[in-house]
Amino acid sequence: MNRKQRIMLIRIIVSAVIMVALSFIPSSGALRFVLYMLPYLIVGYDILLKAFKGIIRAQVFDECFLMAVATVGAIALALYERNGDYTEAIAVMLFYQIGELFQSYAVGKSRRNITELMDIRPDYANIEEGGKLRKVDPDEVETGSIIVVQPGEKVPIDGIVTEGESTLNTSALTGESLPRDVHEGDEIISGSVNMTGLLRIRTTKEFGESTVSKILDLVENASSRKSKSEDFIAKFARIYTPAVCLSALALAILPPVMNIITGNAGGWETWIYRALTFLVISCPCALVISIPLSFFAGLGGASSQGVLIKGSNYLETLAKTKIVVFDKTGTLTEGVFEVNGIHHSSIEDEKLLEYAATAESASSHPISKSLQKAYGYPIDRSRVFDIKEISGNGVIAKVDGKTVACGNEKLMKAIGAEAIPCHSIGTIIHIAIDGSYSGHIVISDRIKKGSAKAIEKLKKAGIQKTVMLTGDTRKVAESVASELGIDEVYSELLPSDKVDEVEGLLERKAKNEKLAFVGDGINDAPVLSRADIGIAMGAMGSDAAIEAADVVLMDDDPEKISKAIRIARKCLTIVYENIFFAIGIKLICLVLGALGIANMWLAIFADVGVMVLAVLNAIRALFVKKL
């Protein structure tokens, strides 16, 4: 509890004690009024003040206004009837404030939980100078600097380990609780916590471009993307409050006037009292508070599982997802290729690999990284010029003055080299030097451990269709798809063909069913943004993916897709429960109030009760571990 909440609690207790004490002290007239005003003002002065400010600013229709009018009205009635019954007004204020206190506590607590989960912001980076460590602002560290991360510290900037061995805890980023061992040469991402050994890291990015900054940006902007349900609440409140005020006014005036016209006694007190009760009942607090809180908790729950969702609108889309389309390389497969063979080489095999790896030196495609790794020596970039990457095909570059083309059969055709087909299963990288075919390298990728399970879980979650799109050859594509149990496969696609396929799928599906595309951002960023919802793998690597996607799976684990969908569904269910529950109870109470069956006490109990339940229900969205 913070200071403000403690003060509120004290005000509530003091006011309640005085109110109870006063009921044992006989008093009457003006003295009684003054005595009872004491607890009323202690507990409610801020509400009255806010209502007053609202009236001055001509923004009258909020809950403070409703509470002020209702309680002041009740006091006025008591004065008018000379019965000295002021407890009602005090009690209404008391319960309202208890509700507010509870809600601010619950909201504060869940927000804190969520930010604690996301507590990955590094405050400093260590730089070694003359044998001493100096703490600097991570923003000031230039790319390529050496920083030191001691055990227990967060890695502030993405980089490569140059010295040391340690275990990293990446759970804040990925939800994965297993620690990860790192050695010299390993890439590590910011936001993970160094647990055991001292590490020296050569930074590969600026702080602003590092994983941790990207993620924090995402999370901070997430709540600004409102969902339809939240919009609905805002619109609802804009119409609802004035409508309620007008109805209350009508309730206070029309029946007595009718009575007088028909020649009876007006019964003003009864109807004014009912109108005031009506106002108290009408406060839409439960709704206004619990809906955004549910979404917020849903986003927080997801991020604790390593699923970053960029806005509550995407929770809505995810919940309705019926078709999931996958990219192959890097998404369903590891994207780490091994060289299985070098065939028909017109030069030494080793030399062919060297040419390929050198030509690929600037590409960020998994194939390029794998070729460079297979080559195994550092690449002299001064040997390469004129690098052109033809996405979905390969690269062409000048190496040692020779034009090296390195890619698939389509690329060979495009430059007029006759490719020799290969019978081995795997991805075939053909190479042509100065326009003449020089052989191919057979590489193969491993299917990710979780992929088959991921597809199975999606089906269990009621996903109607799974589709795989790939730029790779048909043979490879079909073997992967059948191994995983994917329903439809499209192969040999260029990045633009992938967009076309997804557009076709979008057209063929029913309107309220949503399509998700899952990719690693390499050659598929346009598709990520074209799908109803783009889910990016490879958050560890590709910035393009984080940017283009709506949902980012921090640990590249395809099993998290069904988890994300389940989290979204749970969150939406909670939202709908709260909407129906809150509006339902409200309507019933409003009718009872208008008929004179519900008095103000009941009204306030109903209001606070509904709010407490709705907030508790909303917080359930945070607990998603077992989904």
Residue 399, contacted partner among Mg ion, ligand ADP, none, CB below 5-8 A by kind: none
Least distance to ligand ADP, CB of residue 578, Å? 41
| Cα-only R_g, the chain | 33
Residue 393, contacted partner among ligand ADP, Mg ion, none, CB below 5-8 A by kind: ligand ADP
Catalytic residue of the set 123, 137, 186, 327: 327
Tell me the C-alpha distance between 55 and 46, whole Å.
14
Least distance to ligand ADP, CB of residue 427, Å? 5
Tell me the C-alpha distance between 316 and 297, whole Å.
14
Contacts of range 234-237, beta carbons closer than 8 Å, 24 or more positions apart: 236/284, 236/287, 237/284, 237/287, 237/288
| CB atoms near residue 131 (< 10 Å) | 5
Binding range to Mg ion, per CB under 5 A, among 206-214, 222-230, 321-329, 545-553: 321-329
Least distance to Mg ion, CB of residue 169, Å? 29
Residue 392, contacted partner among ligand ADP, Mg ion, none, CB below 5-8 A by kind: ligand ADP
For every residue of 510-570, DSSP letters joined together read -TTSEEEEEE-STTTHHHHHHSSEEEE--TTT-HHHHHH-SEEETT--TTHHHHHHHHHHH
Binding range to Mg ion, per CB under 5 A, among 151-159, 162-170, 221-229, 518-526: 518-526
Work out the angle at residue 213's Cα, subtended by the Cα atoms of residues 291 and 198, and round it to the nearest 5 degrees: 125
Distance of CA 361 to the CA centre of its chain: 35
Residue 97, contacted partner among Mg ion, ligand ADP, none, CB below 5-8 A by kind: none
Task: Give me the residues that bind ligand ADP (CB under 6 A), please.
Answer: 327-329, 360, 363, 365, 367-368, 392-395, 406-408, 427, 429, 470-472, 522-523
Within 13 Å, how many C-alpha atoms sit on residue 436's CB side? Answer: 4
Closer to Mg ion by Cβ: residue 525 or 567: 525
Distance of CA 275 to the CA centre of its chain: 42
Closer to Mg ion by Cβ: residue 23 or 496: 496
* The one-letter amino acid at 402: K
Closer to ligand ADP by Cβ: residue 275 or 395: 395
Sheet arrangement for strand 199-203: 132-136, 125-129, 146-149, 199-203, 159-163, 187-188
Tell me the C-alpha distance between 513 and 515, whole Å.
7
Residues 6+ apart with CB under 8 A from 308: 215, 218, 219, 302, 539, 551, 552, 553, 554
Residue 395, contacted partner among ligand ADP, Mg ion, none, CB below 5-8 A by kind: ligand ADP
Closer to ligand ADP by Cβ: residue 312 or 523: 523
Least distance to ligand ADP, CB of residue 334, Å? 12
Tell me the C-alpha distance between 581 and 577, whole Å.
6
Least distance to ligand ADP, CB of residue 494, Å? 7
H-assigned helices in 400-494: 409-415, 451-460, 474-484
Least distance to ligand ADP, CB of residue 505, Å? 16
Tell me the C-alpha distance between 594 and 277, whole Å.
8
Does residue 556 carry a catalytic annotation?
no
The residue at minimum Cβ distance from ligand ADP is 471
Phi-psi region at 117: left, alpha or beta (left = phi > 0; alpha = psi -120 to 50): alpha
Contact string (CB under 5 A) for Mg ion, positions 153-182, x = contact: ------------------------------
Tell me the C-alpha distance between 276 and 298, whole Å.
37
Closest to 72 in 3D by CA, of 88, 50, 56, 60: 88
Closer to ligand ADP by Cβ: residue 535 or 594: 535
The H-or-E segment that residue 54 falls in is: helix 29-56
Residue 429, contacted partner among ligand ADP, Mg ion, none, CB below 5-8 A by kind: ligand ADP
Tell me the C-alpha distance between 461 and 534, whole Å.
19
Least distance to ligand ADP, CB of residue 445, Å? 9
Least distance to ligand ADP, CB of residue 520, Å? 7
Residue 368, contacted partner among Mg ion, ligand ADP, none, CB below 5-8 A by kind: ligand ADP
Closer to ligand ADP by Cβ: residue 294 or 329: 329
Closer to ligand ADP by Cβ: residue 406 or 546: 406
Residue 563, contacted partner among Mg ion, ligand ADP, none, CB below 5-8 A by kind: none
**Total of residues contacting Mg ion (CB under 5 A):** 4
Closer to Mg ion by Cβ: residue 248 or 332: 332
Structure tokens at 274: 């009912």
Residue 466, contacted partner among Mg ion, ligand ADP, none, CB below 5-8 A by kind: none
The residue at minimum Cβ distance from Mg ion is 329
Which of helix, strand or coil describes residue 274? helix
Contact string (CB under 5 A) for Mg ion, positions 389-418, x = contact: ------------------------------
Residue 241, contacted partner among Mg ion, ligand ADP, none, CB below 5-8 A by kind: none
Least distance to ligand ADP, CB of residue 565, Å? 23
| CB atoms near residue 507 (< 10 Å) | 7
Least distance to Mg ion, CB of residue 386, Å? 25
Taking a C-beta distance cutoff of 8 angstroms, is the pair 555, 176 a contact? Answer: yes
Closer to ligand ADP by Cβ: residue 319 or 480: 480
Least distance to ligand ADP, CB of residue 136, Å? 37
Tell me the C-alpha distance between 20 and 263, whole Å.
43
**Sign of the C-alpha dihedral, residues 247, 251, 255, 260?**
negative
Taking a C-beta distance cutoff of 8 angstroms, is the pair 612, 99 a contact? Answer: yes
Binding range to Mg ion, per CB under 5 A, among 323-331, 336-344, 500-508, 607-615: 323-331
Closer to ligand ADP by Cβ: residue 324 or 614: 324
Residue 229, contacted partner among ligand ADP, Mg ion, none, CB below 5-8 A by kind: none
Closer to ligand ADP by Cβ: residue 300 or 426: 426
Decide if residue 522 touches Mg ion (CB under 5 A): yes
Which of 63, 153, 327, 557 is close enough to bind Mg ion by CB under 5 A?
A: 327
Binding range to Mg ion, per CB under 5 A, among 6-14, 146-154, 182-190, 521-529: 521-529
Tell me the C-alpha distance between 329 and 424, whole Å.
18
Site for Mg ion, rule CB under 5 A? 327, 329-330, 522
Known catalytic residues are 327
